[in-house]
Structure formats: C-alpha cells, structure tokens
Amino acid sequence: MKEIIAKNLTKKFKKKVRKGIFNTEVRVIHAVKGVSFEVNHGEIFGLLGPNGAGKTTTIKILCTLLIPDSGEAYIHGYNVIKEPNKVREIIGVVLAPDKGFYERLTGIENLVYYGRLYGMNKKDAYKRAEELVNLVDLGKDAYRFVEEYSLGMKAKLSIAKSLIHDPSIIILDEPTVGLDPISSRKIRALIHDLANSGKTILITSHNMWEVENLCNRVIMINKGEIVSQGTPKELKEKLNLSYFIEIEVLNADKISDYETSINEKGNLVVKIETQKPNESLIKVLDELREKNYIIGSIKVIEPTLEEVFARVIGGEKGN
C-alpha cells in the first residue's frame, strides 16, 4: 500500500528584496517544482537536499501546513487539501525540535497536554507519556522544565510528542539534530523498530551516513526539483562510483605492481581502486598468491551516499 503519494507538487513564494535605499523588488521563489514520489507501507524514506532545496516546503504540504499551488498529495488515501483533519489524526510530525512546547511545563507535562488534545483521559495520557520518555531515553530530564532543556533534550521530547497518539505515519525533519552519538544511535534504533512494527517513516537529514543506514529509498532534491532517486545502492551504481580495496601483505617490503602503503602494524598494504570489487579482489588475490605473498587482512571500502550527494548536488567530478 502507498501510504504517502505526492503528485507534481509545486509551490511558489513572493519575497521582497531591497534595491537601493528606497526601492524594493518582489521576486518569486520557486520552492517546489513538480515533485512526485510515493512511500510504501512500513518503509523508511529519505528526503535529501541542501538548505533551501525545497525539503521543508514539501514536508509542510504533506503535513497540511501549506497548500500547494498545484499538484496533489495523499496520506493513507486522504487528500491533504480536502481532508486535512483526517490526515492530522494519523501522522506524527517533528519539524523543529525547539518549538511547540510550553517552557514552564515539564517535559512529561507537555506530553500529557498533547495526549489530552488527542482525546486521551488524564490517566491514559500520563501512562503513554511515561512510556515515551523511556522510549526516547529522556530519563529524569522528563521531570524538568522545558526551559532548562538543551537542544538535544528537546529533540528527544519532540520525537516523543510525535508518537503520543500512536500514529501510523511519522514525518521527521532532522530527527537526530543536536543529539550526542549515543542518543543518536538510540533514536536510529527506535526508527528501525517503528518501521519494523509497521509504521511508515519519512525523514530528512543532512547526515548522509545516517540516511544510508536508515532508509530503504531516498530522493534528492535541488532547487525544488528531484534530481535523483532510488535505493542508496542504486544511486551509487548509477554513478559508477569507485570501491577501494586494501590487502595486507605479511611477507613483503615492496610490491612494484600496485599502489602500496604501510599500516599501523608496519605491514605493507596493497591499495586498489575499482568499480568491480568482486572481480578485482579475486584477480589481485590470485596474483599475490602466485608470487607466494602471505595475505593478512582484507578491507573493501564501499562508496558512500555522501559521495553521491556531492556528485549530484554539488557537481563534484569523480577521480
């Protein structure tokens, strides 16, 4: 089932730009230009792009916070323009971790408040709030005033708030921003668990490693348009990005046929750049063994989604 459908979404904004001391000019900003994609049930889907690419505008349309100039969008079959209340009942959203809270309430009081807004009685809302603060690892900080929170604490509380009504579709804008490595790891594990339980998740992130390890599929947006899409593996294969192979040789000081270096153990390491790692690895190992070299460790370094992003968005050229 397609849980999220975007069809040819477009959105323009007018912006006043100063020209000279007394004059201003109105410019039209094309934030989103014909964006189309679909997200499957239980999928973790990534929306990537540089600042100002149109990611947040697209998300706000899906969340019913903005009306597109043209195009259509559906959440679980509901039209985001014609049936916004239905959409809001089934989505959980994190757009900005430092907004949407009452500073003079504790974290858990904020969660109870939002639970009551979704129709829970006080007892059930408090029980759900306690479950969620444990789930996002807020611990004792849940009982502190939100005005005392760091950005990382607010990020955790924002994720908890998005889950208060047990939504089937979750939209997360930079879900681990401001979090330390351990907390980020726990949030990534939580996102995986939510998807495994049948939740559908749409995320944006500038952390390419995080997206590569979380997302089933991604789209890359630049200047309001989709410039690439597919699984992380497919995106790398489209660009024919190189793999790097490192083979440790235990009984040699020099091998002239290959690029080499010395590792921290003092052993020679043969280095190979290739687009066909399996074939190249077998070929080089056979050649080294024929010459009676003793092989130690072998490392195959895959191209990363960050390289894809730099090539597609930044226009970087390969080696």
pTM here is 0.82
Question: Does residue 119 form part of some domain?
Answer: yes
Examine the domain organization and report whether 255 and 275 are in the same domain: yes
What are the tens digits of pLDDT across the range 233-285?
888 888 888 889 999 999 988 888 889 999 989 999 999 999 888 999 999 99
| One-character DSSP codes across 192-228 | HHHHHTT-EEEEE-S-HHHHHHH-SEEEEEETTEEEE
Count the domains in the chain. Answer: 2
- Dist. CA 197–CA 93, nearest whole Å: 18
Residue span of the structural domain in which 259 resides: 242-302
- Dist. CA 280–CA 272, nearest whole Å: 8
Examine the domain organization and report whether 91 and 113 are in the same domain: yes
Q: Which of 202, 217, 237 is the last residue in one of the domains?
A: 237
Examine the domain organization and report whether 209 and 189 are in the same domain: yes
One-letter-per-residue 3-state SS of 82-124: CCHHHHHHHEEEECCCCCCCCCCCEHHHHHHHHHHHCCCCHHH
Examine the domain organization and report whether 146 and 224 are in the same domain: yes
Mean of per-residue pLDDT scores for the chain = 90
Question: Does residue 24 form part of some domain?
Answer: no
DSSP 141: G
Examine the domain organization and report whether 184 and 280 are in the same domain: no
Examine the domain organization and report whether 224 and 265 are in the same domain: no
One-letter-per-residue 3-state SS of 128-155: HHHHHHHHCCCHHHHHCEHHHCCHHHHH
The CA-atom distances, in angstroms, between 16 and each of 21, 24, 279 are: 14, 6, 58
Q: What is the pLDDT of residue 311?
A: 86
Residues 6+ apart with CB under 8 A from 226: 35, 36, 37, 219, 220
Determine the number of helices (DSSP H) and then strands (DSSP E) in the chain: 10, 14
Examine the domain organization and report whether 200 and 259 are in the same domain: no
Examine the domain organization and report whether 121 and 55 are in the same domain: yes
Q: Which of 195, 220, 237 is the last residue in one of the domains?
A: 237
Residue reference for tokens 């939580």: 190
What are the tens digits of pLDDT across the range 277-319?
899 999 999 999 999 999 999 999 888 888 888 888 876 444 3
Examine the domain organization and report whether 255 and 170 are in the same domain: no
Query: Which tokens belong to 2?
Result: 């397609």
Question: Does residue 35 form part of some domain?
Answer: no
Question: Does residue 312 form part of some domain?
Answer: no
Question: Does residue 12 form part of some domain?
Answer: no
Examine the domain organization and report whether 263 and 231 are in the same domain: no
Question: Does residue 316 form part of some domain?
Answer: no
Question: Does residue 151 form part of some domain?
Answer: yes
Residue reference for tokens 């059930």: 124
Q: Which of 217, 237, 257 is the last residue in one of the domains?
A: 237
- Dist. CA 164–CA 147, nearest whole Å: 21
Question: Does residue 277 form part of some domain?
Answer: yes
Give the CATH number of the domain where residue 109 resides. Answer: 3.40.50.300
- Dist. CA 102–CA 315, nearest whole Å: 43
List the single range of 19-23, 118-122, 129-133 with lowest mean pLDDT. Answer: 19-23
